[in-house]
Chain A
Amino acid sequence: EDKVVQSPLSLVVHEGDTVTLNCSYEVTNFRSLLWYKQEKKAPTFLFMLTSSGIEKKSGRLSSILDKKELFSILNITATQTGDSAIYLCAVGDNYGQNFVFGPGTRLSVLP
């Protein structure tokens, strides 16, 4: 059975801290791993990763995929209170049909 595991499930930090969120997966016919940020409404897309070892960056956020060890990390540097959200990891199969979501990491950034 396909599954996606995220850790930690919950994290509280102070502004300025750097956080690393983890996502590991067991999926047949892996195609892509996606990170989303969810605040009050629907998730917003952050990154899509398909190749190992290639870091994707967007401002203070970066992510990398390890297809051999079957995991990805999402780093956020110099956190701000606006980073408080649930960060979802999802893995897509080779046909673009099936996606499996992890439970999410709830990040709280305190001032």
Chain B
Amino acid sequence: GAVVSQHPSRVICKSGTSVKIECRSLDFQATTMFWYRQFPKQSLMLMATSNEGSKATYEQGVEKDKFLINHASLTLSTLTVTSAHPEDSSFYICSASRTSPYEQYFGPGTRLTVT
């Protein structure tokens, strides 16, 4: 149990376009979903935390107008990178947690390449 999926797993887009990444909890209801970004050889950087039905809480330094997060249901959260630029190229990982036992389950990640 506790499987989280992400789609797409890999995406290449042109500079200036927008990209949407989906994160789904497949067999449980996730009251909270997290979006992380990882740069090569570095740890995870939390971008934002989202609760179903409410606005996401962004970490300091993360542009909320650029990284739009929607948590429409207890099993789906989306991250939209708007007007993507090459510096947005990265590995984006989502995770989901249940109210108990406070674990996070990670999705497999999405590799975004902006050309």
Contact = CB atoms under 8 A, between A and B. Distances in A.
Contact of A102 (B42, B43, B51, B101): B43
Nearest to A31: B102
Nearest to B106: A42
Interface in B58-90: none
Given A32-B102, A101-B44, A96 B108 contact: no
Interface residues of B, number: 25
B46 A99 contact: yes
Given A42-B109, A43-B44, A88-B44, A99 B93 contact: no
A48 B98 CA distance: 14
A43 B38 CA distance: 11
A42 B108 contact: yes
* Residue picked from B91, B98, B99, B101, most chain A C-beta under 10 Å: B101
B25 interface: no
B108 A101 contact: no
Given A42-B93, A98-B49, A48 B44 contact: no
Interface residues of A, number: 24
A34 interface: yes
B100 A96 contact: yes
Interface string B4-16: 0000000000000
Interface string A83-111: 00010101010001111011110100000
B106 A48 contact: no
Interface string B25-46: 0000001101000000111101
24 contacts: A32-B101, A41-B91, A41-B108, A41-B109, A42-B93, A42-B107, A42-B108, A42-B109, A43-B106, A45-B103, A45-B106, A48-B102, A48-B103, A92-B97, A96-B31, A96-B32, A96-B97, A96-B98, A96-B100, A97-B32, A97-B51, A98-B49, A99-B97, A102-B43
Interface of B: 31-32, 34, 41-44, 46, 49, 51, 91, 93, 97-109
Interface of A: 31-32, 34, 36, 41-45, 48, 50, 86, 88, 90, 92, 96-99, 101-104, 106
